[in-house]
A and B are shown apart, each in its own frame.
Chain A
Amino acid sequence: AQSVTQLGSHVSVSEGALVLLRCNYSSSVPPYLFWYVQYPNQGLQLLLKYTSAATLVKGINGFEAEFKKSETSFHLTKPSAHMSDAAEYFCAVSATQGGSEKLVFGKGTKLTVNP
């Protein structure tokens, strides 16, 4: 069964600093991996998606993630944090059961950006 572990429920960085949000996955088949962002009182917005076309995936708002099969990781990074990046971030893996596909989510990491 597929699963996702996000290391660190809260991450705090200074404006302009590197953002690194960690995600490790477990999957018995080559996975599709996702990062979503959620701003307060809003729905989830897709940041980026790994589909095996390239190990480094670029997303919206300057975020990118690198798929490392040997480490079963899909960490999210941004070189320079902005105040508007403060949000909760969710890593997810696509799971297929009986021909139906659904997402399995990590518990989320809340990012705080300090001025």
Chain B
Amino acid sequence: DAGITQSPRHKVTETGTPVTLRCHQTENHRYMYWYRQDPGHGLRLIHYSYGVKDTDKGEVSDGYSVSRSKTEDFLLTLESATSSQTSVYFCAISTRTPNSGNTIYFGEGSWLTVV
């Protein structure tokens, strides 16, 4: 258990509405990530953060923004949700140990449906 909590776990929203997903961690890890998972695509990185107020884009960042105002929380916002953003969203954190690099652990996922 990497101490990651995602909320909400399930949400149905309408096209054009804003949506914010929250990722909360309890172990003070520096790196946090948002991935989306879609059938046939595996997991694709949306955005990641390497510290408070330090974020960068992943491979599928269009239509998404993120914020990290404190170490423990990483927010993913869909400014105006579209049906193509219906997906399962996973938050992840990275731990790093000497001589073994990073290991990424995932939250339980947030199922988002845009109708």
Number of A residues near B (Cβ < 8 Å) is 26
CA distance A99 to B107 in the complex (A): 24
List A contacts of B58 (CB < 8 A): 102
A100 close to B50 (CB less than 8 A): yes
Q: How far is the CA of A100 from the CA of B58 in the complex (A)?
A: 11
Q: Beyond the given A34-B103, A53-B99, please list 20 additional residue pairs across the A-B interface where CB-CB is below 8 A.
A: A42-B108, A42-B109, A43-B90, A43-B108, A43-B109, A45-B106, A51-B99, A90-B43, A94-B101, A94-B102, A100-B56, A101-B101, A102-B33, A102-B48, A102-B58, A103-B45, A104-B45, A105-B42, A106-B42, A108-B42
Interface-centre pick from A43, A45, A49, A106 (highest chain B CB count, 10 A): A43
Cβ contact within 8 Å between A46 and B33: no
B92 → A minimal CB distance (Å): 8
Scan residues 36-78 of chain A and give those whose CB is less than 8 A from a CB of chain B: 36, 42-46, 49, 51, 53
The 8 Å CB contact of B104, one of A98, A100, A103, is A103
Q: Is B31 an interface residue (CB 8 A)?
A: yes
